[in-house]
Amino acid sequence: MAASSAHQKRRLRGVMLKLVYENHEAQQHRLDDVTLTGVLDRLQFDVYVNLVREILQDLEERGLISFDSEKNRTTGAHAIRKIKITPDGRDIIEKTTSDPAVEVE
Amino acid sequence: MEPRGEGVELKVLKAKGLLSWALGFFGGGAGITLGYAAIQAVKARPDFLQQLLSGGALWFASLVIGMVIFRRQLEVFNAMQLRHVIAQEKLAQNVGELVTRDDQRAREQDLLLNHLARNSDEILRQLAELRNAHGGE
């Protein structure tokens, strides 16, 4: 799947939020951008780390997740670690509320 | 990635090598000159030979030569040790990368299985609901 259109981004937001939610429920170590990219890749999404970072930043701006951002001094890239789901994010996955920008199956 | 300082250390070793060649050249020249002067002096005054041998000069010369040889061997040993340490560092780094890669793969697999298992449950639940809605067909 080429993740570029608005619909595909809505779908990706939903899947990523769900993965963070499931990880939280399983009480596993918190996710980072590279691991999320790996899992999405295995789920047959055509993604790359920068796209995943963009969507994570988008989800954070919507108040659905929070994370730690770390700047790599060698490459200048901002790595995203310790991704946490917020109560608003959990509500969307549990379908207590909905957000048209986040498509959850 | 190369261990830090390896290039600098090799450059220092190269500079040291050139310096030791220059020192060896001048030292050898000085030794030959001194030897020639000593032979001339002994030829002119053979009684000096007895004084030279009984004065401990030979022992001193042997000690100096021994120290030079020991220093050379020590340099070779140090260079070998340095290469050994660099090789160990590279090995540790590679093993670390290998372990991290395997851990990452296992974690991704774990997350994927968790997600697929939940999806599968959800599909089965919705299928049952559909069947019920259609009168248990």
pLDDT of residue B5: 54
pLDDT of residue B57: 76
Mean pLDDT for the stretch of residues B2-10: 57
In this complex, do A22 and B110 lie within 8 Å of one another by their Cβ atoms?
no
Residue A104 CB coordination number (10 Å): 17
pLDDT of residue B9: 64
Helix, strand, coil abundance in chain A, percent, nearest 5: 50, 20, 35
The b/e string for B86-116 (b: 16+ C-beta within 10 A; e otherwise) is: beeeeeeeeeeeeeeeeeeeebbeebbebbe
Q: Which residues of B touch A26 (CB under 8 A)?
A: 114
CA neighbours within 13 Å on the CB side: how many for B81? Answer: 6
A22-53 pLDDT, tens per residue? 999 888 889 999 999 999 999 999 999 999 99
The residue that leads in pLDDT, B30 or B56, is B30
pLDDT of residue A3: 46
What's the pTM?
A: 0.59
In this complex, do A22 and B114 lie within 8 Å of one another by their Cβ atoms?
yes
Tokens standing for B130?
């559909």
Question: What does the angle CA B77 – CA B78 – CA B81 come to, to the nearest 5 degrees?
Answer: 90
Q: Which residues of B touch A43 (CB under 8 A)?
A: 112, 115
B21-51 pLDDT, tens per residue? 888 888 888 889 988 888 888 888 887 777 7
Tokens standing for B82?
């340095």
B70-118 pLDDT, tens per residue? 999 999 999 999 999 999 999 999 999 888 888 888 999 999 999 999 9
In this complex, do B111 and A19 lie within 8 Å of one another by their Cβ atoms?
yes
| Disruptive mutation site among B4, B115, B121 for chain A (greatest number of A CBs within 10 Å) | B115
Q: Is B60 exposed, middle or buried (0-12, 13-18, 19+ CB in 10 A)?
A: exposed
pLDDT of residue B2: 47
Report the C-alpha gap between B57 and B55 in whole angstroms: 6
A18: nearest Cα among B110, B63, B73, B116? B116
Q: Which residues of A touch B104 (CB under 8 A)?
A: 34-35, 38
In this complex, do B115 and A43 lie within 8 Å of one another by their Cβ atoms?
yes
Mean pLDDT for the stretch of residues B127-133: 91
